[in-house]
Amino acid sequence: MISTRRLLIELLHLRPIILLSGKFLSLLPHLTDLEINSCDFHDDFYKEIADRASSSQIQKFIISYLYLHDDQSSSGYLGKFLSLLSHLTDLTINSCSFHDDFYKEIADQASSSQNPYFREKEHISMLQEWSVRKQQRQQLQQQQWWLEQRQQQQQQRCNNNDGG
């Protein structure tokens, strides 16, 4: 019997294809190290791994070059997956961007998680950085709205002056 402990998934782009399923987690019961590097999966993949996370033995998880900023459901499922990994002790995230639902899911699940990583509050700095970025985005949106309003007012004044 082969006992796979480490798995690297790299440069795999299967977004339009649903063939790759997260069911592989249940087929690799001894998997302790998982690395996903520069991949693009269908939403169903993330849902499937989130559904199977609690039975996983993954202790170390590395995510690199994963861009899910515009993908609400995949981001949320990935956040849920991380929160439900009961053996996770080491999480590394490199050059990734996630939708806010990723961070919301972690924030919601972390307080009740049996996961050592979250019990030790290792996720706090990640959530604080997200909160700061979210506030900065909101401030930028407010500034853009204000500038647009000023431009519209100036345009109306110009139109009124030209018409008078």
62 and 111 together in one domain: yes
Per the prediction, the chain carries an average pLDDT of 77
Do both 16 and 67 map to the same domain? yes
pLDDT digits (tens, 9 = 90+) for 119-155: 665 555 666 676 677 777 778 888 888 888 888 888 8
Q: Which pLDDT band holds residue 7 (cuts at 50, 70, 90)?
A: low
106 and 25 share a domain? yes
* Percent of the chain surpassing pLDDT 90: 2
Query: What range defines the domain where residue 52 resides?
Result: 6-122
Question: What is the mean pLDDT of the segment spanning 10-34?
Answer: 65
Mean pLDDT of 109-124: 65
The reply to whether 1 falls in a domain is: no
Same domain, 83 and 158: no
pTM, to two decimals: 0.65
Contact predicate 106/123, CB 8 Å: yes
The per-residue pLDDT for 1 is 45
Residue 97 shares a structural domain with residue 31? yes
- The continuous run of DSSP H or E covering 24 comes out as helix 24-27
Q: What percent of the chain has pLDDT over 70?
A: 70
More confident: 64 or 109: 64
CA distance 148 to 69: 25
Domain count, the chain: 2
Residues 108 and 135 both lie in one domain: no
Do the Cβ atoms of 30 and 55 come closer than 8 Å?
A: no
Residue 94, domain member (yes or no): yes
Distance CA 140, CA 136 (A): 6
